[in-house]
Amino acid sequence: MAVDIPDHLRALTGGDAAARTEAADHTNSSIVHQGTLWTTTGPVVDQVCALVRQDATGDARTLAEVLQFLYDVAEAVGLADEDLDSRADPLDGTWTPR
C-alpha cells in the first residue's frame, strides 16, 4: 500500500544497511511492478532522483538498487532500450560510453 512509501524513502537514507535494502526492494516492487506503473510513480521518482542528486543513499549497493528502480521505471514508460541495456550494469557499477 502506498501509505508506507514515505517510510521506505526515509529508510533509503538511514544508517541500517538491511533497512535500506528492504526499502529499495519494497519501493521497486510496489511502485513499478512487472512493468505496471501506479499513480505514486511520478512523485516517488521525483523523490528518488532528489536522493541520488544529494548522494544520500548511504552506500554503493543502495545507490545501485535505486538506479535499477529508475531504470525499471524508464523501461516501463518506453524510455529504456537495448542500447542502454548493453551499456549499463548498475549492480556492478559499470558503464560503457558510446
Q: Is 25 within 8 Å of 66 (Cβ atoms)? A: no
Q: Where are the chain's structural domains?
A: 2-92
> 27 to each of 4, 73, 87, 95, 97, how far by Cα in Å?
10, 11, 24, 24, 29
Give pTM, 2 decimals. Answer: 0.75
Residuewise pLDDT in 10s, the chain (98 residues): 468 888 999 999 999 989 999 998 888 888 887 777 888 888 999 999 999 999 898 788 899 899 989 988 888 887 656 555 555 555 555 555 44
DSSP 48-92: HHHHHHTT-SSSHHHHHHHHHHHHHHHHHTT---HHHHHHEETTT
